[in-house]
Amino acid sequence: MAVLEIITLGDDVLRQETDPVPKLTKKITKLINDMIETMYAADGVGLAAPQVSVSLRLIVVDVGEGPLVLMNPKLVKAFGQELDVEGCLSIPGKQGYVGRSTHIVVEGLSERGKPVRIEAEGLLARALQHEMDHLNGVLFIDRVEDVEDIIEKGV
Ligand code: NI
């Protein structure tokens, strides 16, 4: 496995619409493993493929319950609304309040290529919505009311 470079705001790949993962190959499995290692190395709770310069619909998330991998994820249900603080590994030093659905259902393919249906709430729901936004070229700063500089806050 390898730690990949995480691209930051200003890189065009972050703003592109991504393509579906056509099929599970050894190359994709290696990418998944590298993304998980990269997420942990950066101390993040999620990472989307465009953040490592790969324009595919692939995300990894770990909110403390072990790594969750989703290929070609689709939001099939969303309800509730909650405002909370969010940041992004591609926008270091920034965070802001973002409204997200509190409960969601997501369908996609697992790291083994099997169909999965995830029901999520709280931080997991937020992380999944944040990472799925990346697949459409959307960043949390597009959804935030006030971007706060965490360095200015002295955090
Ligand atoms: Ni992000």
Spatial separation of the C-alpha atoms in residues 127 and 129, rounded to whole Å: 6
Q: Which residues place a Cβ less than 5 A from the ion ligand 1?
A: 88
The set of catalytic residues is 131
Q: Looking at domain 12-152, does it have CATH number 3.40.50.150? A: no
What distance in angstroms lies between residue 10's CA and the mean position of ligand 1's atoms?
A: 14
* pLDDT higher than threshold 90 for residue 68: yes
Confidence at 154, pLDDT banded by 50, 70, 90:
very low
Domain boundaries, the chain: 12-152
How many Cα atoms are found within 13 Å in the side-chain-facing hemisphere of 43?
2
Output the CA 1–ligand 1 centroid distance in Å. Answer: 21
Residue 150's pLDDT is 56
pLDDT tens, position by position, 87-105: 999 999 899 999 999 999 9
**What's the distance, CA 91 to chain centroid?**
13
8 Å CB contact between 92 and 83: no
- pLDDT tens-digit map of 126-152: 999 999 999 999 999 999 877 665 544
pTM value is 0.94
How far does the centroid of ligand 1 lie from the alpha carbon of residue 22, in Å?
Answer: 23
Contact 110, 141 (CB under 8 A): no
Question: Residue 149 has what pLDDT?
Answer: 58
Rounded to the nearest angstrom, the distance between the alpha carbon of 50 and the centre of ligand 1 is: 10
> What spacing in Å lies between the alpha carbon of 51 and ligand 1's midpoint?
8
Q: Give the tens place of pLDDT for each residue, 5-59.
A: 999 999 999 999 999 999 999 999 999 999 999 999 999 999 999 999 999 999 9
